[in-house]
Amino acid sequence: MIISIVVAASDDNAIGRDNQLLWKLPNDMKFFKNLTWGMPILMGRKTFESIGSKALPGRLNIVLTRQAEAIQQTKDIVIADNIEKAIVLASAAHYKELFVIGGSDLYRQMMPTANKIYLTRVHTFYPDADSFIDQIDQNSFRLIVSENFPSDDRHAFSYSFETWERKH
Ligand SMILES: NC(=O)c1ccc[n+]([C@@H]2O[C@H](COP(=O)([O-])OP(=O)(O)OC[C@H]3O[C@@H](n4cnc5c(N)ncnc54)[C@H](OP(=O)(O)O)[C@@H]3O)[C@@H](O)[C@H]2O)c1
């Protein structure tokens, strides 16, 4: 199964503060929804809380936590207490791709094994953020897609949709 990271990060690799995102970019939300629709998404317990402790619709939501009692499982929300179990859950349901959607704890653990990274690079700096991703290792990943979009009345910052693929 393909394991893909999906993340939006500023030019200094910031992704969040106070367990919230740093920006509102409708086109990125649309990109994220189209990419992950109908697919399994894997997130850490803090990211799950940051989206209101409810399932993102139309997707199998797999939440990683070491405290099983913290989250109510439903038909759309399953919990796993380690990454291997999360991958087994997704592959047992015959999905071809698993999307890792955050947060920084999970990105850090998954970066060494991920096959692909969908990075929305938001062209600003957030030195006072409290969540960051590691710089993409260009010895391990190659950039295969990069599309740039300017800021406009709905997007405070310019941004780029980048796809990175693991080198073989
Ligand atoms: N910009 C973006 O694209 C983006 C996307 C998503 C999130 N974010 C931001 O990222 C921040 C949250 O990131 P975070 O690093 O604080 O938290 P996180 O990665 O969302 O969640 C961490 C929690 O996940 C569980 N966990 C992690 N690894 C595990 C493992 N191997 N096995 C079992 N459980 C595991 C643990 O939960 P327990 O403590 O319950 O055991 C851990 O405390 C927020 O600011 C959020 O807004 C940004």
What is the residue range of 49's domain?
2-166
**92: CATH:** 3.40.430.10
Cβ–ligand 1 distance for 61 under 6 Å, the answer no
**pLDDT tens digits, 12-27:** 999 999 999 999 999 9
Domain count, the chain: 1
- Averaged pLDDT for residues 124-145: 97
* Ligand 1 center–CA 153 separation, angstroms: 31
Q: For residue 51, name the pLDDT band (cuts at 50, 70, 90).
A: very high
Ligand 1 atom 12 nearest Cα: 103
Position 68 pLDDT exceeds 90: no
- Per-position DSSP letters for the chain, written without gaps between them: -EEEEEEEEETT-EEEBTTB-S---HHHHHHHHHHHTTSEEEEEHHHHHHTTSSPPTTSEEEEE-S-GGGS---SSEEEESSHHHHHHHHHHTT-SEEEE---HHHHHHHTTT-SEEEEEEESS--TT-SEE-PPP-TTTEEEEEEEEE--BTTBSS-EEEEEEEE--
Please report the pLDDT score of residue 88 as a whole number: 94
- Averaged pLDDT for residues 135-163: 98
Q: What is the pTM of this model?
A: 0.97
Cβ–ligand 1 distance for 21 under 6 Å, the answer yes
Ligand 1 atom 8 nearest Cα: 103
Please report the pLDDT score of residue 132 as a whole number: 98
